Copies of this chain bind each other. A is one copy, B any other.
Amino acid sequence: MAGSDYGTIFKITTWGESHGKGLGVVADGCPAGIPLDESMIQEYLDRRKPGQSKYTTPRKESDQVEILSGVFEGKTTGTPISMMVRNENQKSKDYSEIASYYRPGHADFTFDAKYGFRDYRGGGRSSGRETIGRVAGGAIASLFLKQLGIHITAYTKSIGPIHCNMADFNAREILNNRVCMPDAQAAKRAADYLDQCMAEKNSCGGIIECVITGVPAGIGDPVFEKLDANLAKAIFSIGAVKGFEIGDGFLAADATGLTNNDAFCTDDQGNISKKTNHAGGILGGISDGSPIIFRAAIKPTPSIGAPQQTVRTDGTPITVEIKGRHDPIIVPRAVVVVETMTALTLADMILKNMSADNRKILDFYQK
């Protein structure tokens, strides 16, 4: 089954393996006339690039993107935008041993079960490098949304037991520290915790939070294509995500109707809004005009240097210590992936929903 494309109207198709010739994406359905060049994509890719700090794999990859089609005279043409990043540092030899056994927490075993064999070099298509295509394609969606006044900001909410203090939220900090936390003090404590994990050849997980502002009320569909349902799928399609919640999320299960309902009110400009935002900006699957807020739980990096029990592909037991240096945490590099998957979901939903109100279509054709 084809499963490498995402979206209906604004759609991406990604391709590439960790240790193949390269990775890329075809972004189709982007409206014509949007200014676009490689530097605008590169800015997003650089946020997920390896080798940026001691907490990311030192694999040297410049991850330079090349736009191959769909842009003419500096603007999108409305036709598919193909982008590619060549792999530069694929040392297949390093992975020869890994072919013989199943790494715990990885997809080695399930790939073999599904396909009968696998590209054992670096996880193939289940590698974190697969997200290069998502980020490049999602960057275009983000740029499109910015033109509509919609902004998406994701950040690290927690790393292991270290949680940001949201009273100290500072958006500028997110791109300023190595762990993408909006709270400089928490970022320092998180760094200490990560040092400890690395010393123990261990790894840890964390939580990413994402806030979307500028979405008008009325985006989303009421039944299966709820905006939150689509965001849930988008975020859960990112490897290592184990949980997703919107607004108060799991806390809502413990709440009562009186504490969880958001009262409607009228603001100074006469617009209807909500006094609180327990719902996280979506009611009945449709945006309500408040900021949309969700969180994703990310599991610890499965590749760790400490000894682990597992089996060879023939079923015999083996104790392994995974070599090479791996990120002790996935979270900071996943922040931009969450942001761009969110952008793809929202851009597609807005374009799909253009027709929701017949009056708008009639305006369209009758002027």
Contacts and interface: CB of A to CB of B under 8 A. Distances in A.
A347 to B, nearest CB: 10
Contacts of A144: 358
**Chain A interface mostly:** mixed
Contacts of A147: 358, 362
Nearest to A2: B29
Contacts of A317: 265-266
A217, A223, A245, A299 — which one has the most chain B CB atoms within 10 A of its CB?
A223
Interface in A66-110: 66-70, 72, 75-82, 84, 102, 104-107, 109-110
B32 A352 contact: no
Contact of A26 (B13, B202, B225, B253): B13
Given A69-B22, A223-B4, A239 B29 contact: no
Nearest to A348: B2
A216 to B, nearest CB: 7
Contacts of A22: 68-69
B79 A17 contact: yes
A288 B114 CA distance: 10
Interface string A298-309: 111111101011
B242 A248 contact: yes
Contacts of A33: 115-117, 357-359
B365 A216 contact: yes
20 contacts: A1-B9, A2-B9, A4-B79, A14-B80, A22-B69, A32-B357, A78-B115, A78-B357, A105-B260, A107-B286, A109-B217, A160-B253, A242-B249, A243-B246, A243-B252, A249-B297, A252-B300, A261-B302, A261-B304, A266-B315
